[in-house]
Structure 1
Amino acid sequence: MRKLTIAAMGIAAVLMGASNVAASAAPPPPLIPDGATGSISVHKYAQPTRYIADNQGMQLPPGDLEGLAPLEGAKFTIEQVAGIDLKTNAGWKKAQSLVDTFDPFNPGAITQNGHGLVNKKEATTNASGLASFKSLPVGLYLVQESQAPTVPANSAVTKSMPFLISVPLTDPQDRQNWVFDVHAYPKNTISRVTKTVNDGSAYALGQAIRFTIDSTIPGGSATTKYVVKDHLDPKLTYRSTTVTIDGQATTDFNATHDKGLVTVTLGATARKAAFDALVGNPNAKVSVTHEAIVAASGEISNQAELTFQREGEPETEVPSTVIETKFGGINVLKHNREGKFLSGAIFEVRASHTKDFATATAVSVNGKSQWATGADGRVTVDGLRYSNWANGATVAEGSPDYNFYWLVEKQAPVGYELLPEPIPFTVTAPVASAATVDVVNSPHNAGGELPKTGAEGSAALLVGGLALIGIGGGALMLSRSRRNSDKA
């Protein structure tokens, strides 16, 4: 019995030891330890055609980010929501309640609901598009993009919407563990608007020119609003609008014109077509073209803007490039060699895109095709497109859009000769500061006297001849009288 008791005691000891080993080998419960810290990594990329899939707080593999452009210089701010302890079940319930009522369009409402914001930190995205916040206490955080990254002129970035994120998160794959280093990939869009003018074929006022606004199509999802506004200069008279999406015409738009402001709003069908076009072609654009008549001379500047919005996001406004079309003229001074001003000279203007006058055609400026000098010998020809400026840029001789001009005298002043050849000139400034074309006329027959027949000269010769005849007749009669006297 004694041996059996000892054996039983030994077995019990072994079993107790085994039990202790099993207890010590069991995994700890998945609880958040006191003093735990984590991190938030915000990744800023230009938005691809479609939104990145929900990463559930995990870092995405490199393959999912292939081809995306990181955005450097975006500043993010994080603040911890006070009064929410995520180490407790009650804290998670508070977090859920706050998330349910969170309005990204009014993130400041958090404080209006009795929650403070503490532990504010800022970080700016680096060349990889990453802004990191480390050593964060466990808690719920408000993340906001406080400053958009720098982008090229006439571009805009749609800031990412404010969002709430917790540290830590449950691992979505291994749901028995917490993830203390969480990652966020907020939506971002870079949009660009370019405005161009097509006036290269125009010579003068009264001719139609076209303005085109090319705007990029936001990725991610179809827009709920897409509006292009164009502020036409008062010197332009609006005529019509057309719209194309990736080169294909659409009629699903509304164009209004009010005191120079042309507003073009795409309909739902056109907005969907735009997004579908982007999926097939990442360079697809919406092109809005206005036709207008240039009604007054001057250096005419114009700018447009795009306003778009996607569901659940704020409106984004993108200004276009500023484009110019330029119309000016020349001043003409007509006089003779002695400086006397000559009125009544009538000119016409001819123009060509080549330097060969034989190719030139007569120019009409708002219906006017002839210009006459006044008593001061002056006349102004205004409303001609600059010779060296076309389609919004400087052009040089040899360009197919360069304008060559000539003055042609159609009627000479009284007592003066017509000009035998045209006078070339260029237009490079408004009339107020334009050069003066000095035109000298020669008098009739270059000022020389022509032989005269009839009139005063002929009468004088006739009178002189008759006088001579009279003198000769008297002499003859006198001679005869003397001879008769001698015979007597």
Structure 2
Amino acid sequence: MSLTRTHHSPAATRRRAHSDRPGELGRRAATGPARPLTPEPTPCRTGGPGRFERESQKPMQTNRHPAGRRLAAAVGVVALSLSGLIGGAGVASADPSYGNIDQNATGSIIIHKHLNGDGTEANPDGSGNVSGAAVSDVTFAAYPITSLDLSKSSDWDTLSGLNVPDSACANPTAPTLAGQELGGEAGSATTGGNGQATISGLSVRAYLVCETAAPANIVQKAKPFVVTIPYPYNGSWLYDVNVYPKNTEVSIEKTVEDQAQYGYGLGSVVSFPVTTMVPALEDTSNFQYFQIKDQMDARFSDLAVTQVTLGSETLTADTDYTVDITGNTVTVKFTSAGLTKLKSAAGQQVRAVFQGKVTSVGDGAIKNTAQLITDTAYGSVPDTPPDNPDPENPPSTPEVQTNWGDLKVQKVDADSTSTGLAGAIFEVYNATDPYAADCSGATKTGDPIRVGGQTQFTSGANGLVNITGLYVSDSVHSPANATQRCYVLVEVEAPAGFVKQSGDIGVTVKTGTTSGYDVTVENGKQAVPGLPLTGAQGKVLMMIIGAVLILTAATTVAVRSRRATATA
């Protein structure tokens, strides 16, 4: 883009302000489509994209300062064309300065870092109102363009044709700018909780500004941009310049599927879907890596990723992504082909399903989180994405928890409750109302539950039946993280010589390991059929008969004795 030194009438100048558009320099200052706001050489104020009106400020002497015209046309859009958001009300406007540039002055670059804004209502003097979430912990550094001297008109001409490539800050600690010389870092600042940072103490010069660091949940760094101290705005010079680069934030979510799909006993699969939305990237920005990592609990075995989808498309393992299992860490790693698909799928959901089998209960609470590990760069998709990137504090899911318990049954002799009975066989069933306040009246439903690969459980020599690992609850489904659940115990076979329990037994399973017994089941002895008379019962009968005979004989003797006495 070129500029002339010809003086135009105010009307002609306004027409030029409508027709001229910022050059490459202005476009490179934004992370998204720039808002072309080209201050005209005559006094003006911005009223929106492409609108300029006269204002009553003291005019900048455009005939006497051709450098100002060049900056207005070439660099004047840089700060405003940064796409960003400012939370709440606009900050106080900087005091304008008129006339010649004060070459001995110092100024500052005031950075407002917010999510996904377009900056169309924010101005380089700090006025304007936009909304959006502030982004903290983002660091910017300013590097002086030492080959340009803003006291020289010819160097303003150079600025008008300056091209700032997206890759200028590829190495943010040692940026490059073709055809220009850069000095060491003139200053840096990190955004606070309000998303604002100020690089101060800057002498009159043009500066290349680089985003040098950001939290791991922030993708797509702000494109490098040039800011001049001072900056021409509304017919005056600003020595404290407000800029509004934007960022895109990523997040990740994890849930747990309904356990009814997989079983309620030890050895059952637990399934954890993990999701994230693909952020929109600029044309020249690409993913450098994209990984979903799940640190599964040590109580899971047979770890796997059963499915990865992008929107409605099921992705292909080893083509779009690979799965790495190291210890209990499972990672989905997108390949170069997968990264390319992600770039064209902005706004769509990535969903990866992680699974494992429960092998033990422990304290009963099995907790898991997943992480999203990703970054972008202004450049091409790498042929071989890095295998194990290690960003600081990557975005993580809220913790997801599943809760498990065990059931201990004591089988005893009803005539001696301290005596355990071996050989009793039980099954356990789900209850129709699993979260009833009182489980004693629970009724069974469905088939017997498989726990540890079996559906029947036999009491040992001490009468103990230990059913280890029954599902209690999780942190997603209602009632979330319930501490107990009802099950139904059914005795299907009693020990030899004992009567089987006739009714179903409602039991309560609590999260964790039971120290005592959850329920005691008594068995009475079987009734025995009558024995032959030669046995014990026959002896009793004979004794009775003998007693009767003796009594009869005694009675007979007594009667005869009385008769004899009477006759005599």
TM-score tier after normalising by the smaller chain length: 0.5 to 0.7
Shift of 1:328: 2.3
2:266: which partner in 1?
Answer: 205
Report if aligned partners of 2:407, 2:468 keep a CA contact under 8 Å in 1: yes
Structure 1 residues 170 and 117, CA, compared in 2 at 3 Å: closer, same or farther? Answer: same
2:517: which partner in 1?
Answer: 436
| Separation in structure 2 between the aligned mates of residue 410 and residue 79 of structure 1, nearest angstrom | 79
* Matched AA of 2:397: S
Report if aligned partners of 1:199, 1:325 keep a CA contact under 8 Å in 2: no
| Separation in structure 1 between the aligned mates of residue 480 and residue 368 of structure 2, nearest angstrom | 23
How far does the alpha carbon of each residue in 1:142-181 deviate from its partner, in whole angstroms, 9 at most, with x for none?
A: 64557758xxxxx82237368463424887999xx98766
* Matched AA of 2:453: G
| Separation in structure 2 between the aligned mates of residue 123 and residue 463 of structure 1, nearest angstrom | 109
2:57: which partner in 1?
Answer: none
1:370 and 2:456 are equivalent in the alignment:
yes
> Any residues of structure 2 matched to 1:295-310 within 5 Å, and which?
295-298=359-362, 299-310=365-376
1:361 and 2:361 are equivalent in the alignment:
no
2:330: which partner in 1?
Answer: 262
More strand by share: 1
Q: Secondary structure at the match of 2:111?
A: strand
* Counterpart pick for 1:107 among 172, 177, 201: 172
| Separation in structure 2 between the aligned mates of residue 79 and residue 218 of structure 1, nearest angstrom | 27
Q: Secondary structure at the match of 1:441?
A: strand
Structure 1 residues 359 and 430, CA, compared in 2 at 3 Å: closer, same or farther? Answer: same
| TM-score, normalised by the number of residues in structure 1 | 0.68
* Counterpart pick for 1:27 among 56, 61, 64: 64
Structure 1 residues 169 and 244, CA, compared in 2 at 3 Å: closer, same or farther? Answer: farther
Report if aligned partners of 2:429, 2:445 keep a CA contact under 8 Å in 1: no
| Separation in structure 2 between the aligned mates of residue 393 and residue 373 of structure 1, nearest angstrom | 34
- Number of residue pairs aligned between Structure 1 and Structure 2: 424
2:47: which partner in 1?
Answer: none
1:427: which partner in 2?
Answer: 509
| Separation in structure 1 between the aligned mates of residue 419 and residue 205 of structure 2, nearest angstrom | 90
2:377: which partner in 1?
Answer: 311
Structure 1 residues 160 and 254, CA, compared in 2 at 3 Å: closer, same or farther? Answer: closer
1:218 and 2:282 are equivalent in the alignment:
no
Shift of 1:382: 0.2
2:420: which partner in 1?
Answer: 342
Structure 1 residues 37 and 440, CA, compared in 2 at 3 Å: closer, same or farther? Answer: closer
Q: Secondary structure at the match of 2:256?
A: strand
| Separation in structure 1 between the aligned mates of residue 374 and residue 166 of structure 2, nearest angstrom | 26
Q: Secondary structure at the match of 1:457?
A: helix
| Separation in structure 1 between the aligned mates of residue 492 and residue 163 of structure 2, nearest angstrom | 85
Structure 1 residues 434 and 426, CA, compared in 2 at 3 Å: closer, same or farther? Answer: farther
> Any residues of structure 2 matched to 1:30-429 within 5 Å, and which?
30=67, 32-47=101-116, 59=124, 69-74=132-137, 76=139, 78-79=141-142, 81=144, 86-87=149-150, 104-109=169-174, 117=184, 120=187, 122=189, 124=191, 127=194, 129-132=195-198, 136-141=202-207, 143=209, 156-158=217-219, 160=221, 163=224, 165-168=226-229, 182-201=241-260, 202-221=263-282, 223-234=287-298, 235-251=300-316, 253-258=320-325, 259-267=327-335, 270-278=338-346, 282=347, 284-298=348-362, 299-312=365-378, 317-336=394-413, 338-344=416-422, 345-354=424-433, 357-386=443-472, 389-390=473-474, 392=476, 395=479, 403-429=485-511
Report if aligned partners of 1:244, 1:287 keep a CA contact under 8 Å in 2: yes
Shift of 1:212: 0.5
* Matched AA of 2:257: N
* Matched AA of 1:44: K
Report if aligned partners of 1:343, 1:372 keep a CA contact under 8 Å in 2: no
5+ residue gaps, structure 2, are 1-60, 69-100, 380-385, 435-441, 553-568
Shift of 1:320: 2.4
| Separation in structure 2 between the aligned mates of residue 105 and residue 457 of structure 1, nearest angstrom | 104
Report if aligned partners of 1:342, 1:413 keep a CA contact under 8 Å in 2: no
Report if aligned partners of 2:125, 2:238 keep a CA contact under 8 Å in 1: no
Report if aligned partners of 1:103, 1:109 keep a CA contact under 8 Å in 2: no
Structure 1 residues 29 and 231, CA, compared in 2 at 3 Å: closer, same or farther? Answer: closer
Q: Secondary structure at the match of 1:198?
A: coil
* Matched AA of 2:426: F
| Separation in structure 2 between the aligned mates of residue 229 and residue 396 of structure 1, nearest angstrom | 25
How far does the alpha carbon of each residue in 1:76-95 deviate from its partner, in whole angstroms, 9 at most, with x for none?
A: 45556496662356988999
Report if aligned partners of 1:58, 1:183 keep a CA contact under 8 Å in 2: yes
| Separation in structure 2 between the aligned mates of residue 45 and residue 223 of structure 1, nearest angstrom | 21
Structure 1 residues 415 and 166, CA, compared in 2 at 3 Å: closer, same or farther? Answer: same
Shift of 1:450: 7.8
How far does the alpha carbon of each residue in 1:232-266 deviate from its partner, in whole angstroms, 9 at most, with x for none?
A: 33423134421222344333622324243333233
Report if aligned partners of 1:223, 1:310 keep a CA contact under 8 Å in 2: yes
5+ residue gaps, structure 1, are 1-23, 150-154, 473-488
Q: Secondary structure at the match of 1:206?
A: coil
Shift of 1:60: 12
Shift of 1:411: 2.4
Structure 1 residues 295 and 412, CA, compared in 2 at 3 Å: closer, same or farther? Answer: same
1:458: which partner in 2?
Answer: 538
2:88: which partner in 1?
Answer: none
| Separation in structure 2 between the aligned mates of residue 334 and residue 239 of structure 1, nearest angstrom | 40
How far does the alpha carbon of each residue in 1:378-422 deviate from its partner, in whole angstroms, 9 at most, with x for none?
A: 231102111xx136466279x9xx953122222223443222222
User: Rg bigger for which structure?
Assistant: 1
Structure 1 residues 273 and 347, CA, compared in 2 at 3 Å: closer, same or farther? Answer: same
* Matched AA of 1:456: A
Report if aligned partners of 1:198, 1:391 keep a CA contact under 8 Å in 2: no
Q: Secondary structure at the match of 1:326?
A: strand
1:17: which partner in 2?
Answer: none
* Matched AA of 1:245: L
| TM-score, normalised by the number of residues in structure 2 | 0.59
Identity of aligned residues (%): 23
* Matched AA of 2:474: A
How far does the alpha carbon of each residue in 1:255-296 deviate from its partner, in whole angstroms, 9 at most, with x for none?
A: 324243333233556545545443xxx5x3211113433333
| Separation in structure 2 between the aligned mates of residue 146 and residue 269 of structure 1, nearest angstrom | 28
Shift of 1:41: 3.5
